[in-house]
Amino acid sequence: MRPVEKWIWLPEKQYPHAQTTRYSWHVRTRTEENYTVAQFSREYRFHKAVSRVLLRFSGDTAFSLFCNGAYIANGPVLPGGDFLSLYSDDPMPQHYATEMCVTAEEDPALGGGNLAFRAQVRMSPCRCFDFSRGHGGFFLTARVEFADGTKTTVYTDRSWSAQHLAAY
């Protein structure tokens, strides 16, 4: 799948305090801990049955993704290996994404022709294996294949709803 996603985050004018974070559990580059949980959502309504959806997504620092109310995944993928010695002093040079396929057989809700995505993203490294690029965010690309053989692609952009979840 060709990535076309755009990173999205909370509007800076509304949430100036919730934009940046330190990029590693080990490096304390800022005195303030900007712990923030954001929620992003978007519903797509199609007038035909969806047969499968190819997904590519990630978040900074950690996220949970849901589609049509059902849990899809947590992420991002952990760096693995001896990540403490490799990336403890600098931001990671890359960010891992997850790619997966959801079919109408696995999730009968797809057959109705609607896709409702919701992601909750936690910004601020809290555990040793959390890494960040220093700014919270989320991205998703969904290649939607319909029962009639046609396809379309949807992705994160400014049309997605962004909320600060102050309860956290």
Q: 10 Å Cβ neighbour count for 166?
A: 8
CA atoms within 13 A on the CB side of 99: 6
Q: How are strands ordered across the β-sheet holding 137-146?
A: 98-103, 50-60, 137-146, 151-155
As a whole number of angstroms, the distance between CA 47 and CA 103 comes to 17
Contact 61, 118 (CB under 8 A): no
What is the structure's pLDDT at 105? 81
Beta carbons within 8 Å of 127's beta carbon, 6+ residues apart: 25
Tell me: pLDDT of 3 over 70: no
Give 3-state DSSP helix, strand, coil % of the chain, rounded to 5: 10, 45, 50
> What ranges in the chain are assigned the alpha helix state H?
83-87
Average pLDDT over residues 50-75: 93
Question: Which pLDDT tens digit goes with each residue over 20-44?
Answer: 876 655 555 554 567 899 999 999 9
Question: Which pLDDT tens digit goes with each residue over 65-123?
Answer: 999 999 999 988 766 555 555 555 555 656 678 999 999 888 777 778 899 999 999 98
| pTM to 2 decimal places | 0.85
